[in-house]
Amino acid sequence: MPGLCRSCLASTDDSRCPNCGSTRVVRHPELHSLAIAHMDCDAFYATVEKRDDPSLNDVPLIIGGRGSRGVVSTACYIARMSGVHSAMPMFKARKLCPDAVIMPPDMKKYSAVGRQVRALMLETTPLVEPLSLDEAFLDLSGTEALHDRSPAETLAYLSKRIEDEIGITVSIGLSYCKFLAKLCSDLDKPRGFSVVGENEAIAFLSPRPVSDIWGVGKALNKVLAKDGIHRIGQFLDFEERELMARYGSMGRRLWRFARGEDKRRVNPLSRAKSISAETTFNRDIKDPDELFARLWPLCEKVAHRLKTANKAGKTIVLKLKTAGFNTRTRNQALADPTQLAEVLYRAAKPLLAKEADGTAFRLIGIGASNLVDGSDADPADIFNPRGGKMADIERAMDTVRDRFGDKAIQKGRGFKRGKSGR
């Protein structure tokens, strides 16, 4: 069976590399004929922090909000051994892992590292489809002549470069389609390299939960459970038309994915559909003025992210979560695409005013969707000369902040207002 040592990149058919003695050997009958990969950085935020502070290497580290309403963004693998996971309330994570070091996220640092990883991916193949800051699909079809290696060997070399040059680790899933590549990148974390070939796809998928199928969320999972369907293999007992009759167009995906059929291509032109920011309060908030005060810094954060990504939003999305965990979203289309915090705030404020009716909220968020290129942002308007002045002021503030830091200059509504504004 063909194999590859991920430590020294030597070819071997043994479970231990005869060249360097490493047991980090991946072996599979179809190893050198597969070309679709999913690469995911391991516990990304936590790994970056441990890279920069080696004293954290052997301690449980959690990245996320420190307040009583905070949420875990990432937990290192030591903390995960105690049951901590992403999106868990921080109070629960503290109970599970009382010795953990908790740090707030440093998104500027993580974005910079993410760009470094992306650059190495693009040196490997132009067919890179980012899914988030720390993960992407790669299609290495036809790269054998370029790198003088099979796709599997090239991926092993890429993961070694990321580890040696950037100082973080990644896990890789290799298959013949995106669905399976993404599934198997989670099989052997951290520093994993898992392979699923076409000949074993159905056997691999059949015992797995239906929630592993892309697009099966909590709502559909509940519907399937009521119908007695819990495992992917159960879809093999149905005709495609039967599943479509039950579950609409999603039925076709259930039928095909259960058989390992996924014709989606790796699309390097795929882009984020929205850019957003949100915050969970330490206590529920009813007061409209306090909600408006919380809205403004989020607008500034989204504006900064839009400018960094060179994108502009044509639609504003307000998100609120009630004390009872019900989520409300409200949209407002803009006359022109924007990158400006002031425009975001002015569009979101009336949406928030309608919802701030005495309801207690635990979370507020703001987003920009229907993204376009940043060159189309905030065009000059002869009927609104103040719009150009607004843009000039905000860009001048950005220049000051880039030089002296985020807190160097603020608008009046950005100042805290005592206890109620904190």
Structure tokens at 141: 């079809």
Question: Quick check: is 135 catalytic?
Answer: yes
Which member of 135, 153, 342, 394 is catalytic? Answer: 135
Secondary structure element (H or E) that encloses residue 102, with its range: strand 101-103
Nearest to 82 by CA among 63, 96, 95: 96
Query: Cα–Cα distance between 128 and 268 in angstroms, integer?
Result: 5
Residue indicated by tokens 């009958």: 29
How many CB atoms within 10 Å of residue 204?
18
Residue indicated by tokens 């929205």: 274
Exposure string (b/e) for 319-345, b if CB count within 10 Å is 16 or more?
A: bbbeeeeeeeeeeeebebbbbbbbbbb
Structure tokens at 72: 């875990």
Residue 77 C-alpha from the chain's centroid? 18
Residue 346 C-alpha from the chain's centroid? 28
For residues 202 and 236, is the Cβ–Cβ distance under 8 A? yes
Cis peptide before 385 (omega within 30 of 0): no
User: Which residues are annotated as catalytic?
Assistant: 135
